[in-house]
Every structure is written in structure tokens, then in C-alpha cells.
Amino acid sequence: MKPFWKRNGAPSIAASQREEFYTLMASFINDGIPLFDSLQVLDEQFRKTRDRRHAITAKAMRRLRGEEQKTHAFTLGQALRDLVPPVEATMIDAGEQGADPIGGLTRAAQIATDVALIRSKVTGGIVTPVFYFLMLCALLAGISQFAIPVMESVAPRERWAGPAAALGWLADHIILLTVFIAASVGGWSGAFLATRDHWTGETRRFFDRYVFPWTLHRRISSVVYLKAISSFMRVGVPMVSAIDMLSDTSGAWGRAHFRRMKRSARDGTQEGRALATGLFEQGLRWQIVLYGSTSNFAVGLERLAVRFMAKTIAKTEAQFRTLGILIMAIVAIMVVWVYGSFMMVTFAVRSGNNF
């Protein structure tokens, strides 16, 4: 099962476009235009401009009119199921059923914005290290094709020793090493993608705490879950019901955490303590417990989610920035290594000694 912030099916609409759609709907309703009329106006506009969102609005209207027997809907949120990410549709539905459609739409728009922001930061963070890695591969290929032949023209390879000999060995095996590194990174990434939503147990908990990129997945998932739970509670959905909604649209990993939350809540544990499971980092858990003892847990939890979202983004950017710096440092070391080896060869030839 896909993460709850991803669509279960087509059409594929960018988060920024969904956010605009939800915001426009909320604005029209706030100005006194009935929900269905607002949807009809936007559908007509999207049709005229050939906007991809017309596929969503047209299908939602048919469901609300009862023209699709298998997917008849009574609320906009129900009509949007499988057309937008499940958490957004469920948020809108919860707002409507709680007599706060504007709040549901507004919070769905905020969730779309938050997920898009995190995704852009992660994507941007990955691009830079990958670019540096490709630059390193190009540098190593250049060393093999150009630097080593020049050094061999100065002195035969059998006379090389020390750093120069090591550089020669590296040049001889550059293709094999590059393929090995690329295969290792690809295999590691494939293992992560295959297990991130389904793998559970003690070993998985260890990976979530200490092994990248499972640590990153846990951090991002926890902040999105926290934001979703707080948003549901703000539109009047009880915490256990909010957890049930998210559990229904999550993979085995998410459901395992939600089961622990529900078990604690049903045993009479305070809401904050029930929510503060191993899904969240230790530095966040005690704050959730603290807010759970306040008179307005939903408001405090939402503020905490906003702060933690900012910290998560900053920490993610810092991790990828550190990785980029590390690769650049390797590039710099390689440049110094080539220059130093060439100078060693040159000076040794001039002095008539082996090196």
C-alpha cells in the first residue's frame, strides 16, 4: 500500500494545483457560495482552460449527483476519494461532517503544501550529492584517460611507488569501482524503497533510529502524521478516529505504530502519552506528552507540528548538505593526489631515483 499522502490512482495533479483548488473552494464557500455551486464554477473554468484538474472536478460532480453507482458520494471528501491523496480527501470529508467544510478544505490545502515542501527539499537535497558524485566519476575517468598516460610518459609504471602506485592501481580499476559504487547505492536505495512501508519488527526499529535513509523516512513520516492527526482533531475528529482514518490508508509500518497508539488510548492512557510512541523521536515525544496535559490538546499539537516541520526540513537540508561537502572533499583530495603524484614522478626522474 502506498503512503497515505500519495494518490491511489490517477489523475496525477501537482500538490500546488491541489492546494489552489482547495483554497479557491474554501474562499467561495466563505463568501456564501454553496459547495456544489463552487465546484461547478471551478469545473467549468478548468474545462475552458483545459486544466488537468477538470478530470477531478468533473468526476467529483458526477459522484455527488449519483451518476456513478459504484462510487456515489454524499460529501466532497467522499467524491474526491482515489482522485487526490487519501489524507486530503479524508480531511475534507471530516470537515464537512463536522459542519466545518472551510476548515477541512483549508487544512487539506496546508497538508498538500507541507508534503510538497518536504518532497522538494528531499529531491533538491539528493540532486546536489548526485551531481557531485557524477563529477567525481568524471574526474576519475579523466585521471585514467589523461593523467596516468602523461605520468607513464615521464616514467614507466614499474618504477612507481607510494601514492603514485596507488593512483595507478585506482586508474586501472576505475570502471570496476564506479560500477561497484553505483550498484551498491542502487541496491541500498532499492532495499529502502522495497521495505520502507512494509517492514516492521525490532530490526526495523533499529534501522529507523540509526540507518540512513530509514531514519529520514521515519522523521518525515512522523511529522506528516503528526500534522494530519492535529488537523483532524482541529476539525472535531477524536484522536482515535483520526488514527483509524490514517491507519486505513497506511502500509504495514504505519499501521504497526497506529496499533500501539490505539491500544494505549483504549487502555485509558492520556491522549498525549498514547500518541507519543516510537514513531516519533525522543525529543518530540516528551513535548507531545506535555501538550496532552493542556486544556486544548489539538491546538497545541498543531503548533508543535508546525515547529517540528520546520526543524525536520532544516535537519534534512543539513544532512544532504553534509553529504555534498563530503563528496566535494573527496574530489579535492583526488585533485591534490593527482598533482602530488605527478610532481613525485617528475622530481624522481630528475634526480634519477626510483620512487
- Sign of the Cα pseudo-torsion (333, 338, 341, 347, in order): negative
At position 307, the amino acid (one-letter code) is R
| Angstrom distance (rounded) from CA 158 to CA 149 | 14
Residue 305's pLDDT is: 86
| Angstrom distance (rounded) from CA 233 to CA 297 | 9
Spatial neighbors of 156 by CB under 8 A, at least 6 apart, are: none
Residue 1's pLDDT is: 42
Residue 69's pLDDT is: 64
Cell numbers 518532497 correspond to 119
Phi-psi region of 281 (alpha: psi -120 to 50; beta: other; left: phi over 0): beta
| Angstrom distance (rounded) from CA 326 to CA 67 | 58
**What pairs with residue 81 in β-bridges?**
84
Residue 8's pLDDT is: 47
DSSP 185-252: HHHHHHHHHHHTTT--SHHHHHHHHHSTTHHHHHHHHHHHHHHHHHHHHHTT--HHHHHHHHHHTS-H
**HSE-up of residue 266 (Cα within 13 Å, Cβ side):** 10
3-state helix, strand, coil in the chain (%, to 5): 80, 0, 20
Spatial neighbors of 251 by CB under 8 A, at least 6 apart, are: 1, 2, 3, 197, 198
At position 272, the amino acid (one-letter code) is G
| C-alpha dihedral (27, 299, 244, 106), degrees to nearest 10 | 10
> Is-cis flag, bond preceding 156, omega within 30?
no
Number of Cβ within a 10 Å radius of residue 267: 8
Q: Is 42 exposed, middle or buried (0-12, 13-18, 19+ CB in 10 A)?
A: buried
The cell for 141 is 575517468
Residue 355's pLDDT is: 46
At position 86, the amino acid (one-letter code) is P
Rg, C-alpha atoms of the chain: 28
Pick from 60, 52, 95: nearest CA to 232: 95
Spatial neighbors of 215 by CB under 8 A, at least 6 apart, are: 207, 208, 209
For the chain, the domains span 15-114
At position 329, the amino acid (one-letter code) is A
Number of Cβ within a 10 Å radius of residue 191: 12
Phi, psi for 81 (deg, rounded to 5) = -55, 135
pLDDT per residue as tens, the chain (355 positions): 445 445 444 457 888 899 999 999 999 999 999 999 999 999 999 999 999 999 999 999 999 888 776 766 788 988 898 888 888 888 898 888 878 889 889 988 988 888 888 888 888 878 887 888 788 778 778 877 877 787 777 777 777 767 777 877 877 888 888 888 889 988 998 999 999 988 999 999 999 999 988 998 998 888 888 888 888 888 788 888 888 888 887 889 999 999 999 999 888 888 889 998 989 988 889 999 988 888 888 888 888 888 888 888 888 888 888 888 888 888 888 778 877 777 776 776 666 554 4
Alpha helix stretches (DSSP H) within 143-161: 148-154
Residue 214's pLDDT is: 92
Phi, psi for 66 (deg, rounded to 5) = 80, 20
Domain range 15-114, CATH architecture: Up-down Bundle (1.20)
